[in-house]
Amino acid sequence: MMNKAFKALLEPVQLQSGLQLHNRLVMAPMTNYASHEDGTVSPQELQYYARRSAGVGAVITACTYVSVNGKGFPGEFGGHSDEMTSSLAQLADTIHSGGAKAILQIFHGGRSCPPELVNGDVVSASAVASEERGGGVQPRSLSDEEIRDIISDFGETTRRAIEAGYDGVEIHGANGYLIHQFFSTHSNRREDEWGGSLEKRMAFPLAVVKEVTDVVRKKADRPFAVGYRFSPEEATTPGFTLDDTLALVDKLAEEPLDYLHVSLMDYTIKPRTGPDVTKTTLALLLDTIGTRKPLIGVGSVHTPEQAMEVLAAGSALVALGRELIVEPDWVQKVEEGREESIRTTVGPEDQEELVVPDALWNAIMNVPGWFPVRDRNEAH
């Protein structure tokens, strides 16, 4: 029997578009490196999502690239052409078969794209290489016409998501990718309408939001949600600060979006900069957003008690990422009062039981500190 202390996690939520989620828990968008080379979804990927779609209210997919030169990872699935619609539909159907709503995360990798995945055409707001993740190649600065084409690509991929049966899209404006790059003082050194002042650095993110929400208004024949994911601050100098992000979030809260989604590694983290470094980043964001938009809180939410803390802080929804890889039955175990049996570690022998694609499993086993990995035959 469910512990009543966790009842709020399992309450239904209705978003502004009319989309109804059967609880407040969502699967966070996570790259799984498992798609075919041509950008179509693979059987391994479908099995991975099928295993994780039965408990949560919604699954936000790994990011899909909207433009030919936007592919950010090997093994990433594409949404950049109409030929991809049937592949996208397979994934939506798989998520629906578990009972969750399917939300397609859409993005362009910008300067983070490996040159070999984009025929060497690495692009960004300006010709400035990344200093993060060990540095990167120097990208080519996009022309005004190319910028408008990419904005249009976000709209076209949204149309494909509608046609493929998804329940929504999430605009990926976080984690160093192209939308983030336009907002950043590190990667955006432009002096036209797409860069310079804080307001001009917001122009590309807000143009993508307008394009996507316009397409939904014109094309969707059912409740169809649009979310926006953002990072709170940058580690680099120059780089955007939390004050910059609060200004962007204040604008986003007035847009016809269904939710905002912060990208955090830990929901208890405090900002390096900002109006009040004694408060958590989550609290400062919620102070700005108020009741205007639901916020998805995320970041090292391992237990139902921690998920309740994220709700208590004011978040409307809680995203589970690594937790659902380690424990695909996380939500069901909370529902059934079996939270004590939630798996918290993975071992080399667990891949088949957890239904994790090979490339992702290899990363889990070999990237130190990313996942709680135990030695073979050690207790869970």
Report, as residue numbers or ranges, the catalytic residues. 177
Backbone CA torsion sign across 71, 74, 80, 81: positive
User: CA-CA distance, 266 to 282, in Å (whole number)?
Assistant: 10
Report whether 320 contacts 328 (CB < 8 A).
no
Residues facing 146 on adjacent strands:
none
Cα separation, 250 vs 278, in Å, equals 21
Q: Cα-flanking dihedrals φ and ψ of residue 323, to 5°?
A: -60, -35
User: Phi and psi dihedrals of 373, rounded to 5?
Assistant: -95, 125
